[in-house]
Amino acid sequence: MKLSCIIPAFKDPYVVPTINSLLQNSELGEEMEVIVVLDGFWPDFELANDPRVVYVHLGANRGMRGAINAGVSIARGKYILRSDQHCAFAKGYDSVLVGDLERKCRNNDWIMTCTRYFLDPDKWEIMDLPPVNFEKLVIQGGAKFSGRPWRERDEELKDVPIAETMAMQGSMWIMPKEWWEKVIVELQTEGYGQMYQDSHEMIFKTWKAGGKMVLNKNTWFAHKHRDFVQGRHEGTPENPSIRDESGLYALKVWGEYYENEVKPKWKI
């Protein structure tokens, strides 16, 4: 098995077209599986039926981090890809991402994302908005780590298809499962809660271990635009204060490392 695609799912009917997009645009065939983690709910909509899809039902809601951990624990692929439950993918996304990792990631120590477009999920179409490529890691309002579009780096590396970046949204990433098991181990819930700062936790762990966060512009995915809100489908019924606590906890754990090592390295 080359690739396991993991979707943490909570009451969002867009998970069905997301699964279909992963399946229909795959070029790996039987070497790819999709693991859908139903996070403490039974859907009231019809799920996709395909032998490449595995459904895991969690008896109680664990939230996004717990659902991702559960999916990774049964993944059979050499590489693991995480997708939000409302994403569309380019044709051949999987062969491009896996192929580039196999050719270029010699030490199995990368987390990779790709060009991100904005999705109109009702029409299931890419919106006419500029895509996001490189992102700069910043501290937003003294309260949390956040990624921001990095237009200067976009221009500097406009002709470079694969290069290091500082941040990602977290809605889609791929890495060798070996790296997860060695460095990430699991997404921590203590302090962070179940929902937020997951991409930053993984990036900091990766940097500390000598790995890289990489952008691949050879393919793309599209994530639901924030204008399309249909209730709270964020993966857990936690209240908004958890977001603030998670951000402050991440700053407590990683703030000194960011200021003393990350910013000087990136000259920001």
- Give the pLDDT confidence of 27-44 residue by residue, as tens digits: 999 999 999 999 999 998
Helix then strand count (H, E) for the chain reads: 8, 12
pLDDT higher than threshold 70 for residue 89: yes
pLDDT for 230 beyond 80: no
- Residue whose C-alpha is closest to residue 232's, from 244, 216, 247, 243: 243
Closest CA to 77 of 181, 187, 179, 177: 177
Please tell me the least confidently modeled range out of 46-60, 218-232, 243-257.
218-232
Please report, rounded to a whole number, the percentage of residues in the chain having pLDDT higher than 90.
90
Q: 107: exposed, middle or buried (C-beta count within 10 Å: 0-12, 13-18, 19+)?
A: exposed
Assigned architecture for domain 3-266: Alpha-Beta Complex (3.90)
Mean pLDDT of the chain: 94
pLDDT band at 107 (very low <50, low <70, confident <90, very high): very high
Tens digit of pLDDT for each residue in 154-210? 999 999 999 999 999 999 999 999 999 999 999 999 999 998 999 999 999 999 999
- Going by pLDDT thresholds of 50, 70 and 90, the confidence category of residue 227 is confident
Select from 156, 18, 160, 14 the least CA-distant residue to 93.
18
Work out the average pLDDT over 136-157.
96
Bridge partners, 216 (sequence order): 114, 162
pLDDT of residue 232: 45
Tell me the backbone φ, ψ of residue 122, rounded to 5 degrees: -70, -45
Give the tens place of pLDDT for each residue, 207-225.
Answer: 999 999 999 999 999 999 9
SS3 label, residue 140: strand
Measured CA distances, 128 to 54, 121, 150, 261 (Å): 34, 13, 19, 38
What pLDDT, on the 0 to 100 scale, is given for residue 241? Answer: 55
| DSSP-assigned beta bridge partners for residue 9 | 38
pLDDT at residue 238 tops 50:
no
Q: Within 13 A of 35's CA, how many CA atoms are on the CB side?
A: 25
* pLDDT on residue 243: 76
DSSP letter for 102, please: H
CA distance 234 to 63: 8
Give the integer Cα–Cα distance in Å for 110 and 18: 25
